[in-house]
Amino acid sequence: MSKTISSQKRRRHSTEPSPGKSQSFSVKPSSKKLITDNEFKTVTMPKQGQPPVSNPSTQSNQSIFTDNDVNRLAQAVKAIMFEDLRNELKSDLQSEDTTKILCDIASKLEVDLQSNDISVSHRLPTKEGHKQIIARFTHTKKRAEFLKATKNIRNIPDLHGVGISQDLTKARSRVAFLAREAVRKGKLKSSSVWDGKIFLTAINDDKRIVSTESELNDFINGKPDPRRSDIENNVADMPIARSPGTPHFQPNNMMFPPQMMQYQSGAQAMYPHMYGIMS
């Protein structure tokens, strides 16, 4: 009897349906409004022309990068790339002795060049193509001897394909290139580079030193050199003031330019007892 009562109590409080009896369910209408798909899109998607609405709960979890962070990241990547390139160039430089290569070339040019005559030498870093060797000499005399011997480099079979030139700036390198082109076209008689200066010789054996492209064009077109002295530009000699006991210098010796002569004349007018005029 007790067992029957306890089982009925458990069945009364249990959610399982009683055996032999049918169970019915009733659904009450919910007081909350259900959001359809169209209504959901209208809520989440902003209207055209308005900024998107961000969710505060997700925005706090996202990391925001400032301009300073982006710059630091770019510098770090650049430093890594430069370090890799530096290590690659360092391995290339350590694998060969560029000073010994220059000494071997000098011996074929019959120039006595020792390793102590070169203070530093290395290859120029280039992305593609042959890496040139640049060297700095300890004495200008030895450098001049080496450069002078390179004129016969084409006559040496072992040095075919080897070119030696002076290290010029980008602007002067272009002027030297244009000068060689003018020689090949017959506009100039010769051109050469020595100690960073570009020497030109015209068809009429007129000579000039140029450093810019405009000076090269003026020389090819036969224009006079504005840097010449007054006597070469057919300017009449002018009497200049001199101190008593000093020799008289004419403008053609370039010791007294016109500006200096004007200064001397002004000083003579102020101190006539110290200066004399020689006509």
Residue/partner pairs of 208-216 with CB below 8 Å, 24 or more apart:
210/175, 210/179, 211/172, 211/175, 212/171, 212/175, 213/171, 213/174, 213/175, 213/178, 216/175, 216/178, 216/179, 216/182
Looking at residue 137, its amino acid is F
Residue 178 pLDDT more than 90?
yes
Ordered by start, the domain boundaries in the chain are: 87-159, 170-220, 241-277
pLDDT at 86: 66
Distance CA 9, CA 23 (A): 18
Tell me which residue of 271, 199, 277 sits closest to 238, measured CA to CA: 277
What's the DSSP call for residue 37?
H
Residue 49 pLDDT exceeds 60:
no
pLDDT band at 182 (very low <50, low <70, confident <90, very high): very high
pLDDT band at 133 (very low <50, low <70, confident <90, very high): confident
Of residues 15 and 121, which shows the higher confidence score?
Answer: 121
Task: Give yes or no for residue 213 having a pLDDT over 80.
Answer: yes
In 3D, which of 160, 85, 75, 147 has the Cα closest to residue 111?
147
Highest mean pLDDT among 113-127, 199-213, 238-252: 199-213
Q: Which two tokens stand for residue 127?
A: 């992305």
pLDDT at 196: 80
- Confidence at residue 244, expressed as pLDDT on a 0 to 100 scale: 46
Top mean-pLDDT range of 45-59, 160-174, 231-245: 160-174
In the three-class reduction of DSSP (H, G, I as helix; E, B as strand; rest coil), residue 59 is classed as helix
Residue 183, pLDDT score: 93
Highest mean pLDDT among 35-44, 124-133, 198-207, 247-256: 198-207
Q: What is the pLDDT of residue 85?
A: 67
User: What percentage of the chain has pLDDT greater than the value 70?
Assistant: 53
Cα diameter, the chain = 159
Which percentage of the chain shows pLDDT scores above 90? Answer: 12
pLDDT reading at 94 higher than 90:
no
pTM for the model stands at: 0.42
CB atoms within 10 A of CB 268: 17
Q: Contact at 8 Å (CB) between 222 and 235?
A: no
